[in-house]
Amino acid sequence: MSRFVTVTAVRDFESRVRQAITGVMHGDLQTLPPEVLSTGPDGILQQVGGVPPEVLILGPGINPDDALQLALVFDLQFPETSLVLVAPPNPDLVLAAMRAGVRDVVASDIEVDALRVLLERCCLSAGSRRRGLSLGSEPDHGKGRVIAVMSPKGGVGKTTVATNLAIGLGKIAPMGVVLVDLDLQFGDVATGLLLEPEHSITEAVHGPAAQDSMVLKAFLTVHPAGVYALCAPRTPAESDYITAEHVTRLLAQLASQFQYVVVDTAPGLGEHCLATLDQATDGVWVCGMDVPSVRGLHKCLDVLRELQLLPRDRHVVLNFADRRSGISVQDVEATLGVPVDVVVPRSRTLPFSTNRGIPVLQGTARDAATKGFQDLVDRFRPQDGSKRKQHRRVVVS
């Protein structure tokens, strides 16, 4: 079996593909001539040993229309294969390609390093799809979990919780997690994950992406840990062009495509936050171990109960926990009127991790906060309904 198959007559591009995979990714590369397109998927499979490749690269040097026609049929018959089209990208072609099941459209002069990242991402996606297909003959048409990470006040580490939660869930469901930055004016998800996004949420809620969930994926940024991110607008002024209706439609689209949709909301209870809660299956409430933060969350929960907007499942995270703060976990629980589910201790290395843009759950170093974040991730691990995660007493060591 060839893990990578490219259909092209351009030897320079074939050489760059070989450079991208040599010494980094396991598996061999097989190159087929453009004439094989006329034989359809069956003809390609005969050439590569009868087993679908993980990644099929179409072009350069072939007619894009012929490539899209083959891609449409190939994606229907072998959805576990990641398809890549090599052609000059333009909005119309990208839209047609996404509808045909093509994962990425790239220019023929793509650099070797960028090509390597692309192929690694395609392999992760192919592996995830293959595992999903092997779970059973009946597909699961249910929607993914929408997890709203919230706090009425800023400065409690909400984005740090959200980024670590997304990275941790990415280990459970590779390429099945998307992190949405809904702090539309001053969101820091891109900084927290060391990303330089080409697109933002502004483009995702307007134009073709708002109408087609497959096209929407083209506006997401891929993180090396195997998760997607939809980052905040480039300027605070752009938030004026994003409404609550946009948020509702966006989260519904993402939930139809991903197993987990993690939403980092803005502090407070603005219209975008309320729209998120209306779609959320889970609420992760973050508060610090200080009286203003705890009282603020208590008021927030009271308001949401009155509005009947509390999500089905609740997870309370006590961040910056320190027994020398003058209050205890029991004091926090008594004020909130609900149990604390996860404690994240105050850590010296966590600010350093945040400043580097590498969440602690992505790195290998052990940290006092690592266990707390992992406990939060475990609450979302798929499990039998009879073993549903319960609220339980926690202590600060």
Q: Are residues 53 and 175 in the same domain?
A: no
Residues 6+ apart with CB under 8 A from 127: 54, 174
Q: Are residues 372 and 249 in the same domain?
A: yes
Distance CA 180, CA 196 (A): 15
Q: Are residues 232 and 356 in the same domain?
A: yes
Two structure tokens written together for 317: 């995270």
Q: What is the CATH number of the domain that holds 368?
A: 3.40.50.300
Domain boundary among 84, 101, 134: 134
Number of compact structural domains in the chain: 2
In terms of residue numbers, what domain contains 29?
4-134
Q: Judge whether 227 and 166 are in contact, CB under 8 Å.
A: yes
> What per-residue confidence (pLDDT) applies to 24?
63
> What per-residue confidence (pLDDT) applies to 134?
52
> What per-residue confidence (pLDDT) applies to 397?
47
Q: Are residues 246 and 315 in the same domain?
A: yes
Q: Judge whether 69 and 41 are in contact, CB under 8 Å.
A: no
Torsion, Cα 305 267 200 194, to 10 degrees, reads -120
Smallest CA-to-CA distance from 150 within 52, 339, 278, 50 is with: 278
Residues of the chain with pLDDT under 50: 1, 135-141, 384-387, 393, 395, 397
Domain boundary among 134, 160, 193: 134
Domain-located, residue 250: yes
Counting every residue written for the chain, the total comes to: 397
Q: What is the pTM of this model?
A: 0.68
Torsion sign over Cα 301, 302, 304, 308: positive
Domain-located, residue 397: no
Q: Are residues 162 and 67 in the same domain?
A: no
Q: Are residues 178 and 237 in the same domain?
A: yes
Q: Are residues 75 and 213 in the same domain?
A: no
Residue 160 — left, alpha, or beta (φ > 0 → left; ψ -120 to 50 → alpha)? Answer: alpha
Q: Are residues 32 and 181 in the same domain?
A: no
Distance CA 187, CA 183 (A): 5
Domain boundary among 134, 155, 175: 134
Q: Are residues 275 and 236 in the same domain?
A: yes
Q: Are residues 312 and 170 in the same domain?
A: yes
Neighbours of 225 (CB within 10 A): 18
Distance CA 129, CA 384 (A): 22
Q: Are residues 188 and 235 in the same domain?
A: yes
Q: Are residues 170 and 235 in the same domain?
A: yes
Q: What is the CATH number of the domain that holds 18?
A: 3.40.50.2300
Q: Give the DSSP H or E segment for 215.
A: helix 213-216
